[in-house]
Amino acid sequence: MTFDGFDLSGKVAVVTGAAQGIGKALAIGLAQAGATVAVTDRPDMDSRMCDVQAQIESTGGIARTYHLDVTATRCISSVFERIATDLGHLDILVNNAGTGIACAAIDVTEEEWDRILDLNLKGQFFCAQAAARLMATQGGGRIINVASTHALIALPDGAPYIASKGGVASLTRSLALEWIRLGINVNAIAPGPVETEYKREVDVRLGRTPESIRLDMERRVPLARRLDPAELVGGVIYLASPSAAAVVGHMLVVDGGQIIH
């Protein structure tokens, strides 16, 4: 007897910001769990999106790529409709696209504030809305928003990012309450510090050394290191799977113990 509660075979999943980092790992992981994956990201990330598709297909998975800039809100619905038409339906949305900032709050400009909130919060809402409209016509689906431990704890020099992720956490609960009656489960995952291309760029810009990063992680995270993006895959598969049918409006923290420290 086998347990297939985490099997996503026959499901179609959309992952935003899937060309690199966390989104890439989640797209590959969902495909390994059996889902057909729509790999989406900005047009300038096209070659990286194609690389993700190739990785999925090299192990027998099915993937398609679609250009989607989540800050271009007027285009979101048409992209989701095209995905549903091409792939037959839409069952899972992983709302991952986002970015950060390393800037003292007193120096943040209005343009920087708008850039972070438009991408991290406004973009997530309108992607969720577009997905929900399609899911409602087919009897339901799963939406998984990527929040952050910074929805729960604060650090210096990231006020717009922290505000946006706090918004994602609250948005998740609100949408879950409204849409469960449509058969749509809305939940979130809250990663702790994750080793990504963006994080490495910030390290270089701020002059962080491997030793300083190691000491910082030992001080702040019981696991004493940054997470690998692949370590988030299991949580997302769970929330997308039949096993999480009764999980509604939850934010699953995957953080190496950061918030209990």
Over residues 149-162, the pLDDT tens digits come to 999 999 899 999 99
Q: What is the pLDDT of residue 125?
A: 98
Q: What is the pLDDT of residue 17?
A: 98
pLDDT at 148 over 90: yes
What's the pLDDT band for 20 if we cut at 50, 70, 90?
very high
pLDDT at 1 over 60: no
Q: What is the pLDDT of residue 53?
A: 98
What's the pLDDT band for 45 if we cut at 50, 70, 90?
very high
DSSP state of 119: I
Top pLDDT among 125 and 154 is at 125
Over residues 53-91, the pLDDT tens digits come to 999 999 999 999 999 999 999 999 999 999 999 999 999
CA-closest candidate to residue 119, choices 82, 158, 164: 164
Q: What is the pLDDT of residue 202?
A: 82
Q: What is the pLDDT of residue 206?
A: 82
Over residues 207-259, the pLDDT tens digits come to 899 999 999 999 999 999 999 999 999 999 999 999 999 999 999 999 999 99
CA dihedral defined by 102, 169, 250, 216, rounded to 10 degrees?
20
What's the pLDDT band for 203 if we cut at 50, 70, 90?
confident
What is the residue extent of each domain of the chain?
A: 12-192+229-254, 196-226
Angle between helices 46-58 and 21-32 (to 10 degrees): 30
Q: Name residue 212's amino acid.
A: S
Tell me, which fold does domain 12-192+229-254 have in CATH?
Rossmann fold (3.40.50)
pLDDT at 135 over 60: yes
Over residues 106-116, the pLDDT tens digits come to 999 999 999 99
Cβ atoms of 188 and 149 closer than 8 Å: no
Compute the distance between CA of residue 29 and CA of residue 23 in angstroms, rounded to an integer. 10
pLDDT at 3 over 80: no
Q: What is the pLDDT of residue 23?
A: 98
Choosing from 66, 161, 198, 238, which is the catalytic residue? 161
Q: What is the pLDDT of residue 2?
A: 61
**Which alpha helices (DSSP H) does the chain contain, by range?**
21-32, 46-58, 73-87, 110-117, 123-137, 159-179, 197-206, 210-220, 233-240
End-to-end alpha-carbon separation of the chain, Å? 40
pLDDT at 49 over 90: yes
Q: What is the pLDDT of residue 27?
A: 98
161 catalytically annotated: yes
pLDDT at 40 over 80: yes
Mean pLDDT of the chain: 96
